[in-house]
Amino acid sequence: MARLLVLGGTELANRFVAAVREAHPDLEIVLSLAGRTRDPKLPDCEIRTGGFGGADGLAAFLKSESITALVDATHPYAAQISANAAEAAKAALVPCQHLVRPEWVAGPGDDWHVVESNDAAARHLESLSATRPLRVFLSIGRQELAPYKTLGNCSFVVRSVESPEEDDLPPGAALVLARGPLSEADEIAFLKDRHIDAIVSKNSGGTATYGKILAARALGLPVVMVRRPPLPVGTVSRTVEDAVHWLAGQSV
């Protein structure tokens, strides 16, 4: 029987699994999670948690589990996982596609400062805060806070779905636990209440966290936007519908 492996951990992956179950009810689906989220939302399918041991380990899994198609629907910033997926699929002769939601695009009224990494974002904040202290909203998750720990003229509000380790937070940072979606009105109130001067964000795409971008536009706040890492060469779908259409063409 045909078996599909989905590398997930995102809302987009869950929607894709639900759509595949409807379109291909006889297809066996294995959803793989890295295990970093403590209470993930999960669709109704076989769940696998934990790493594979790099590209070689993933290739071995594809072969041993008779996987007939691989879909990488991880976070747009999970660059190593996406690279491993492409390499493993090539080694195991399994068709692979990357399902990635479209990026946000700056519009009229946006004040974006696009940088290549969180290290670069921290250096940019250092420049922006050279003449006055800044209260900065870090909306980058809980695992990449280290570059911001040494910025002396910035104070931080960190928002995350789950708590980072206390030692990972910048000194004196305020921690807010919340899960999207959050509306533009909610985000405007949040930014005003916290007296935010600037935002650091990943270009995650989608609608769940876009409210903060709309709020920054409305309030005239600068957004230091961390650019996405490039995807490996290969098939890319931007919507669930396109990904399901690709899957139908793989004789699964």
* Domains of the chain, CATH where assigned: 3-102+230-248 (3.40.50.720), 111-226 (3.40.50.720)
Question: What residues have CB less than 8 Å from 211, skipping those under 6 apart?
Answer: 180, 181, 182, 183, 184, 186, 187
Rounded (to 5) percent helix, strand, coil in the chain: 35, 25, 45
Q: In tens digits, what is the pLDDT along the chain, a chain of 252 residues?
A: 589 999 998 899 999 999 999 999 999 999 999 866 555 667 778 899 989 999 999 999 999 999 999 999 999 999 999 999 999 999 999 999 999 999 999 999 999 999 999 999 999 999 999 999 999 999 998 889 999 999 989 999 999 988 888 888 999 999 999 887 899 999 999 999 999 999 999 999 988 899 999 999 999 999 999 999 998 888 999 999 999 999 998 866
Tokens of 23: 């379109």
Label residue 59 exposed, middle or buried (CB < 10 Å: 0-12, 13-18, 19+). buried
Tokens of 152: 């002396």
Tokens of 129: 């805060």
Q: What per-residue confidence (pLDDT) applies to 36? A: 62
Q: What per-residue confidence (pLDDT) applies to 162? A: 86
Q: CA–CA distance from 28 to each of 4, 21, 149, 219 (Å)?
A: 6, 9, 45, 48
Tokens of 239: 């919507």
Q: What per-residue confidence (pLDDT) applies to 35? A: 66
Q: What per-residue confidence (pLDDT) applies to 83? A: 96
What is the CA 197 to chain-centroid distance, rounded? 24
Q: What per-residue confidence (pLDDT) applies to 40? A: 63
Tokens of 245: 């259409």
Cut 0.85: pTM above it? yes
